[in-house]
Amino acid sequence: MATRPLSRCVFSAASSKHLRSVVPRVAAFHSTPVGLNSSPPKDDQSSSEPVTHFGFQTVKESLKASKVAEVFSSVASSYDTMNDVMSFGIHRLWKDHFVRSLDPGRRPGGQPMSILDVAGGTGDIAFRMLDHSEKVNSDRETTVLCADINADMLKEGEKRAIQNGYDSNRISFRAENAETLESIPDNSIDLYTISFGIRNVTRIPMALKSAHRVLKPGGVFACLEFSKVSPAPLDAIYQQYSFSVIPLMGQLVAGDRDSYQYLVESIKRFPSQTEFARMIKDAGLVNVGKGYEELTFGVASIWKGVKPLD
């Protein structure tokens, strides 16, 4: 899919009042809603243990993963519906474009691909990968491993794989921490994808280093994630919508305001497009082009990096 229809014209296809946000992957716990103009709460950190952010909260590093896992368990069966309601289906277009831009599948004379979809949960990206490899590249052997830290999300994905008739020899689900990927061998993966999940990782640089480790030389890292909106007047509207409307819709549709409050806070805290591209480079991967492609005025972006051959 060409960049033009998604980078700028998806926004014009849906009216500006419709496309202010999307909720594709993950929500997590936040005990007290924080307004757009509120200062992030400063928690009392009496111990010397390293801390990190959890939305606008400051928490011990050792607690963040469990908080994210806890929330995924609570939203596993409902967050996809929320995605559609909140984005008017636009997140599907982003994901379709993401997969088409990667063109997964065996090339003529080549071998089937080994794909790792991290934070793959319900299989949303994995199913698209398999469909594309078969329909576009006539490849019925490429495999996808969905890795997620949360067992409930993985169960949802397994259930959907069975319901939709996907070959169990081509798709599998495994509990993994993105920071370590302990069961994934070095230099074993052709394509590593992570969609709307990396901002929930406690130590993002560690996750990027693990991505570099498991990729084969010449393998591709690809991330689809929320990013920074431009120009500034549009971003102001987007922020107001995000903090005012998204938590309310979370309450109405999913019965979970706190999780979606965390969603908008985590987006606000995520690095800018250029900053994250630099982090990918620092992990040892080579940026593709300028490192990222903006979608819909930067509401989301795609980052790509390649593991050097030497």
List, as residue ranges, the binding site for S-adenosyl-L-methionine: 122, 148, 177-178, 195
Beta strand 114-118 with 189-195: parallel, antiparallel or unpaired? parallel
* Neighbour tally for 40: CB within 10 Å: 14
Q: Which residues are annotated binding-site positions?
A: 122, 148, 177-178, 195
Count the neighbouring beta carbons within 10 Å of the beta carbon of residue 159: 13
Burial class of residue 83, CB neighbours in 10 A (0-12, 13-18, 19+): buried
Three-class SS of residue 15? Answer: coil
The DSSP code sequence of 245-287 is HHHHHIIIIIS-HHHHHHHHHHHHHSPPHHHHHHHHHHTTPEE
Sort strands 286-295 and 114-118 into parallel, antiparallel or unpaired. Answer: unpaired
Q: Phi first, then psi: what are they for 175, rounded to 5°?
A: -75, 125
Q: Does residue 16 contact residue 9 with C-beta atoms inside 8 Å?
A: no
Contacts of 101 (CB under 8 A, 6+ apart): 1, 222, 293, 302
